[in-house]
Amino acid sequence: MLVRNIRRASVSLTALRHTLVVAVGFASLATLSTPATSAAPSNFPHKPIRILAGFSTGSTVDLSARVVAEKLVQRLKQQVIVDNRPGAGGVIAAQIAARANPDGYTLLSVSAAHSVAPSIHAKLPYDTLKDFAGVSTTVRSPAVLVAYPGLGAKTVKDLIAIAKAKPGSLNFASAGIGSATHFSAELFKSMAGIDVVHVPFKGISEGLTETMTGRVQYFLSPLTIAHPLIKDGRLVALGVTSSKRSEVLPQVPTVSESGLPNYVWETWFGLLAPAKTPRPIVDKLNREITHVLDLPDVRKRWTVIGAVSAPSTPRQFDALIVKDMKNFSKLARDAGVKAR
């Protein structure tokens, strides 16, 4: 009887041992077949990264990408190339990025105009929310309301008075229909209750040039680009659009101080990836970009031109785009703004 029981126990142990081996085998296979989600591949990146910019060289969308790219090269030990594809208010570059391989090697530099596009285009060649994943916001920058020196306006209150005295006689510039420069001006127009004419150009530099010549009378330009022209006396600065005065132009009041209470406008810039880019890669890029934006020399580089480093988490960036899409949709509807 004892021998029989020992044999049965031996069989049971053998069966249990076999079961454990099979179970461990399946667990090993599951581990091999399930991709890791906690860390990016150890060899990422192993080739150059391309950042698409939907606006021309010298624009803040371009500049914000280049400042980050320059430092990422040192951090990632790979080339990071900015590829300018201007046109259609950034839509062309966004379309290319949306169709790119979601492997972390293609990013898209955008501004708030990315959230504007769905509200002014009847149909886009991509889905703003479904086709992109936020990596990080990079910079925040106010605009500055500049006027043609020959207009005679010294304050925001002066400009509004001139516009109200001659409805429809003043023109304002923008960097294109649906651009941040356009929507900031539409908000100004609405809050001031003035009748003025929108004249869109292909970019910010063209808008500034035409304002200096007097073809258009005013422009809500990014401060980062306009401030050298203000210092040279080629444009008159009526007000900055931030909630407080800029360190770059401390003598220039805010728009709110100068004649339009409660007007505040700050434009954000950031980097997106194609939607299906693996989360570990997005998170690694976010960490590296955040580190770059926190570097003292990078912060100083932005400060001297009136902007600030503004990193975010990927989820915070996604939420910002959703929020702004709702706000811009209402503004576009109220102002009757549509792409031509």
Task: Identify the CATH number of the domain in which residue 306 sits.
Answer: 3.40.190.150
Domain edge (last residue) among 215, 247, 266: 266
- pLDDT at position 340 over 80: no
Which has more pLDDT, 317 or 4? Answer: 317
Q: Are residues 151 and 134 in the same domain?
A: no
Q: What is the CATH number of the domain that holds 240?
A: 3.40.190.10
How far the first Cα of the chain sits from its last, in Å, is 95
Position 4 in a domain: no
| 106 neighbors 275 (Cβ within 8 angstroms) | no
pLDDT digits 0-9 by tens, 163-207 = 999 999 999 999 888 888 999 999 999 999 999 999 999 888 899
Q: Are residues 55 and 99 in the same domain?
A: yes
Position 6 in a domain: no
- pLDDT at position 24 over 80: no
Q: What residue spans of the chain are helical by DSSP H?
A: 2-33, 60-76, 91-98, 113-120, 156-165, 180-192, 204-213, 223-231, 255-258, 279-293, 296-303, 314-335
Q: Are residues 135 and 147 in the same domain?
A: no
Q: How many domains does the chain fold into?
A: 2
Q: Model's pTM, two decimal places?
A: 0.77
- Whole domain around residue 261: which residue ranges? 142-266
Q: Are residues 91 and 133 in the same domain?
A: yes
- Can you give the pLDDT at residue 186? 93
d(CA 4, CA 31): 41
- pLDDT at position 296 over 90: yes
The mean pLDDT value for 298-309 works out to 90
Domain edge (last residue) among 205, 232, 266: 266
Domain edge (last residue) among 226, 244, 266: 266
pLDDT digits 0-9 by tens, 115-169 = 988 988 889 999 999 999 999 999 999 999 999 999 999 999 999 999 999 999 9
